[in-house]
Amino acid sequence: MSWIITSTGSEYHFAGPASAGWGGRPINIQDIAHHLAIVNQFNGATSRPYSVAEHSLLCCDIAKRAGASVFVQMAALMHDAHEAYTNDMTSPAKIAVNEYSMALAGVAAWDRFENEHAKEVRSHFKLLSVYAGHRGMLRSIDLQALATARRDLTAFDAALHSPWPVLGDNTIQPTAPADWLRLDTDEREAATWKDWRQQFLDRFLALQIVRHLGGIGTKQC
């Protein structure tokens, strides 16, 4: 069995003939919002549930605060949308899987798998060119969101734990967490997965409206 049944009842195929056929990989914003609101980051190793949907909204907020266009804001919101189908995997686990598969077959298996589905989702929402043109900025946004979540929601202690190279720990320019919000507030603690699902959908629809109007009043950056 190489498919899943999504929250809306569709079959999404990862492999086999059905995956290449019409309708074999149905992409639906309702499924994406629902799945991402339930899937937690950090493999659940946080002080409260912290979903991919909440992380994605934070990335969108960071992009907006940086003055990015509506197109980049949408790309930031949707940068992990494929995880609605592939599920989330911690970065260390991804590295380990790639190392195993490289040693056995010379292929970075997780990267190949994830990238295939990420490309399909981004193509569906017409975001491929935005990702190609703003890859560095989107990566920086994602890392700032990671640094913010580590500060506010994990047990990380720089005096006790190994540095995180991905965040540039112990370098001249480490990635700084956002200094304009906290993730460990009572309000966020009280929010349910349904709240994050709705916020994700609302943000997507609001950005879609502006995109369809041609990004009036926004910069293409």
- Sorted by where each begins, the domain ranges of the chain are 28-88+126-212
Determine the pLDDT at residue 152: 98
Rounded Cα gap, residues 23 and 211, in angstroms: 26
Per-residue pLDDT band at 215 (split at 50, 70, 90): low
Query: Predicted confidence band at 22 (pLDDT cuts at 50, 70, 90)?
Result: confident
Sign of the Cα pseudo-torsion (114, 115, 120, 121, in order): positive
Q: Give the chain's mean pLDDT.
A: 94
- pTM for the predicted model, two decimal places: 0.94
Average pLDDT over residues 202-212: 95
Of 31, 51, 30, 56, nearest to 41 by C-alpha is 51
Q: Which homologous superfamily does the CATH classification assign to the domain defined by 28-88+126-212?
A: Hypothetical protein af1432 (1.10.3210.10)
pLDDT at site 150: 98
Cβ burial, residue 168 (10 Å; 0-12/13-18/19+): middle
- pLDDT for the residue 170: 95
